[in-house]
Amino acid sequence: MSWRPDASAPLWHLAKGERNEIFYSDLELEHLKQIGPSCVATTLCMVARATGADVTPEDFKGITNSQSPHSWSEALKPYGMQLAYCNHDQRRIGYLIDELKQLNDLFFLSFYSVDPPSDPDENGKLCTAHIVTMHGSTIYDTAKYPSREGVCDASAYSRLERQTKRIFRVVPVGYPRCL
């Protein structure tokens, strides 16, 4: 038998015989507009509020690190949620949207705001990144107002040309693939 590496991987790998389970199809998100550089805290707040929680982005700022997805996952636990990494590379978001839409669930998409350099700057920062929420086929961007692409169809999102930094699926607490 001649083995060759597989150059592609689905975003959400399913084991043989496993079906895609949709965890949050009935969740109703209400867009929040971030104040300052708080996309992570505002995104987490928006999702927590959809569970009925009475929280603000400030509640998440003190318990998360914007560069630590593990802290984001921990912050979602009181609301019955955690994060799970998806397979991805630095492809532009536009290449992944159709597959995410087919999965039809709740995801966090993180992307670079500029073309990422290979090395961090003198302060240790690689470059600015942003995170948005994708629920079904809708993107919620906390950096924009709802009427100005803050809530839009994922296929029409203006930042589809940005390179992917991270993709997470929001899963129930205790799900085997959680962070």
Residue 4 — very low, low, confident or very high, per pLDDT cuts 50/70/90? confident
Res. 108: pLDDT tops 80: yes
Query: What pTM did the predictor assign?
Result: 0.92
Strands 138-140 and 151-153 come out as: antiparallel
**Residue pair 55/81 in contact by the 8 Å Cβ criterion:** no
At residue 50, φ and ψ (nearest 5 deg) are -65, -15
Domains and CATH numbers, the chain: 39-172 (3.90.70.10)
**Residue pair 161/94 in contact by the 8 Å Cβ criterion:** yes
Question: Could you give the percent of the chain with pLDDT greater than 70?
Answer: 97
The three-class DSSP label of residue 65 is coil
